[in-house]
Amino acid sequence: MCGIAGFINWQGVPDGGAQILRTMTDAVRHRGPDDEGQWLDAEAGVGLGHRRLSILDLSPAGHQPMISATGRYVLVYNGEIYNHHALRSALGEQGNAPAWRGHSDTETLLAVIEAVGAQKAIAQLNGMFAFALWDRQERSLLLARDRLGEKPLYYGFAADGTFLFGSELKSLVVWPGFQKTVDREALAAYVRYNYVPAPWSIWQGIRKLPPAHCVILKAGEQALPPPQAYWDFQKIAHEGALNPLPYEAGLVDRLETLLMDSVGRRMEADVPLGAFLSGGIDSSTIVALMQAQSAQKVRTFSIGFHESGYNEATYAKEVAHHLGTDHTELYITAQQAQDVIPSLPQIWDEPFADSSQIPTYLLSKMTRAHVTVSLSGDGGDELFCGYHRYFQAMRLKAALGRAPQFSREIAARFLRTNFAGHAASGVNRLLPKAYRQAALRDRLPKLAGFLAYSDGMQIYRDLISHWKDPGAVVPGGKDPRSQEFDMVPDFPDFRQAMMYLDTLGYLPDDILTKVDRASMATSLEARVPFLDHMVVEFAWQLPMSAKIKEGVGKHILREVLYRHVPQKLIDRPKMGFGVPIDDWLRGPLRDWAEDLLDEKQLREDGFFDPAPIRKLWQEHLSGGRRWHYHLWDILMFQAWWRHQSDPSLKKI
C-alpha cells in the first residue's frame, strides 16, 4: 500500500518543483514509510511522486515511480493487483512479456498496459488501486480508481492552472498558492450524510475520482476532463436483479468457492498478515476461510470496550477459539478513545463524522504492532442485505401504503408534541427491561417525518440523513446529491434499490474511507475480500430469497459461515462498531465541544447558522433529546477547519 501525488503544469516544471513534489509526498509519508521516489520531466511540466509501503517484492525492483520496459509509460500506483501472477502468465503465453526485473505487481501492471493499452488493461485487473500513468508519447495523464472505491484519489486545478492529484488532500493543499475555499454544496452534503460524497471534495475545484472510473488529461487541457466508467455497476446490479439465478443448494457452494478464492488471493504478501475479527457474520466468514486454507494459525485482532453496549470482543474471542486462530485483543478505556479525537482532523484530512472512526483507528494501530496487512469483513451488508435500515424502510413503506394521507398527517402532528414524547417515555419505563426501546422519545419525531412521505426513496434518504434540511444549518448550501435518488433503476425489490445506492455512496465514501484512512494512518494495509468484483457480480445475481429468510438478512452468507463456525456463536442481534459519543458530549468532552460550538466563533467562521446548532446542543446537554449524530457532524467540521488554520495543533 502506498501514497501517490503529482502535478502537471503545461508551461513546465516551476522553480523548486522537485522540492514541492517531495513536500507533497512527505505529506502522505504514513501511507508509505518504507521508500520514496520522485520523477520529473522538466520540459513536459510533469512531476510524479510516491511513498511506498512494501508488501510485494520488498527489493528495490519494486521502487516507484516506475518506468515501463520501453520507456513510454511512467507509473505511480497505490494498491494491490491480486491477479498479477495470472496476468504475467498470460503475457508470457502471448509473447508480450518483458524481461522481468522483479516480481512486483507494479511491474506487471505496466507490462499489461504496454501490451494492450491502459484502458483495456484496467478492465483486466482484480484488485484495489488508484494510480497515475503518464504517457510520454501521447503527453497525457490517466488517473484510475478501483471498481468499488477501496483506494482514494483526488484531483483538480490549483489557482495557477497546475493540475494536481494525490491519495489524500494533504498532498494538494501544500501546493504554493492553493486556495482553501470550502465548497458549500459539499458542506451541505456532509452535514446530511456525515461524509463528503464523490465526486465532490470539501475544497472547491477539487474532485474525488468515483469508483470504477478513470480520467484522461490530454496535452494542454486546462479544464477538468469528465470521468469515464470502465465497469458498469448499474447494469450489473439491475440485470442481476431482473434475472436472478434459481435458488438451489448449489448457490451456497458457488458463493463459498468465490469467497475462498477471493480470500486466498488477498493472503499473498511478503510481510506478516492477519485479519480484523469482530465476531460478527462478515469478519468471522473471512477469518474462517483464511484459516481453512492456511497451514499456520491466522493472526486475528479485536478491540473491546468496558461499556457492555459497545463491546463485541467476547464474541470475537469465542469465534477465534473455535477456529484456532492466534488471537489478540485489547480493551480500550474511554480515555484512550477520547485521546484519539484531537488527531481525527489530520487523519481524515476532510470533514468526516462517522464516530466509529475512533475504534477503527485504535484497532488498526493495535493490529499494526503485529502485522503489516490485515483482511477486513467490510462490504457484506451491502451485498447480502444486512443493514437494519433495509428492513425498517420496507416496514415503513408498507405501512404508509395502507394509511390514508389525512390520517398520517394527524398522527404526525401528534407525534411531534411534548405530550407524545412524555407518554412514550413513561410507557417505556413501565415495560420489562427486555422490551424497552433505547431513546424511544427521540424516535417519535423521526416517525412523524416518515408519515409525510409518499414513496420508499424518501424514507431511505431520511434514514441515511443526519441534518435532513442541510440548507437550514448551511446558509446557501444545497445537497448536490439529490438528483441521484431520482435516477435509480427500477428494481423488483425496494431493498435492492437501497443496497444499490449504498454500494455507490455509503460504502466507498463512508465505510471504505474510514478503513483506508484509519489503517493507512498506522501504515497498515487493509484488504477487503467481499469486494472482489467477481463476488460482487455473483451477489447481484442471487435471488432475494437467498439473501433474506424469515425477515433476517445475509441468509446465504450465514449458510457458508455455518459450515465453519457453529450457529450458536453467530446468531445474535447486530451491534454497531461505535463509542458512546452521546454520553461523552455531556461529560468528558463537554468543554471541548462547547469551545468548538461557541456561537461567536460559528458566526465568524461563516459556515453554519449558529441558532439550530446551539438549540440542539442545549437540548442534548439537558438530557431531553439525543442529538449526538448531528452535533458530531458540526464538531468534526469545526475541528477540521481549526486544523486547517493551524495544522501544527494536531498531530498523529
> Which residues are annotated as catalytic?
2
Q: Write out the three cell numbers for 199.
A: 465526486
**Can you tell me the distance from the alpha carbon of 20 to that of 39, in angstroms, rounded to the nearest whole number?**
12
Contacts 24+ apart (CB under 8 A), 388-395: 388/574, 389/460, 389/463, 389/464, 389/498, 390/495, 390/498, 390/499, 390/553, 391/495, 391/551, 391/553, 392/463, 393/456, 393/459, 393/460, 393/463, 393/494, 393/495, 393/498, 394/456, 394/494, 394/495
Are the C-beta atoms of residues 81 and 109 closer than 8 Å to each other? yes
Please list the alpha-helical segments (H only) found in 169-312: 169-173, 184-193, 233-242, 250-265, 281-292
Contacts of 473 (CB under 8 A, 6+ apart): 191, 467, 608, 609, 612, 613, 634
Q: Write out the three cell numbers for 580.
A: 458512546
Q: How many helices (H) and strands (E) does the chain have?
A: 31, 17
Contacts 24+ apart (CB under 8 A), 116-119: 118/73, 118/142, 118/144, 118/214, 119/214, 119/230
**Can you tell me the distance from the alpha carbon of 404 to that of 520, in angstroms, rounded to the nearest whole number?**
52
**Can you tell me the distance from the alpha carbon of 530 to that of 377, in angstroms, rounded to the nearest whole number?**
7
Q: DSSP letters along 601-650, please?
A: HHHHH-SS-HHHHHHHHHHHHHTSS--HHHHHHHHHHHHHHHHHH-GGG-
Beta bridge partners of 164: 7, 156
146, exposed or middle or buried, with CB in 10 Å at 0-12, 13-18, 19+? Answer: buried
**Can you tell me the distance from the alpha carbon of 31 to that of 276, in angstroms, rounded to the nearest whole number?**
19
268-282 core/surface letters (b: 16 or more CB in 10 A; e: else):
bebeebbbbbbbbbb
**Can you tell me the distance from the alpha carbon of 410 to that of 564, in angstroms, rounded to the nearest whole number?**
52
Query: How many Cα atoms are found within 13 Å in the side-chain-facing hemisphere of 256?
Result: 17
**Can you tell me the distance from the alpha carbon of 640 to that of 58, in angstroms, rounded to the nearest whole number?**
36
For the sheet with 213-218, list strands across it: 66-67, 73-81, 127-135, 140-145, 213-218, 228-229
First to last CA, the chain: 19
Phi, psi for residue 621 in degrees, rounded to 5: -60, -35
The residue among 141, 155, 150, 6 whose CA lies nearest residue 81 is 150
**Can you tell me the distance from the alpha carbon of 189 to that of 473, in angstroms, rounded to the nearest whole number?**
11
Contacts of 571 (CB under 8 A, 6+ apart): none
Q: What share of the chain is helix, strand, coil (3-state, %, to 5)?
A: 50, 15, 35
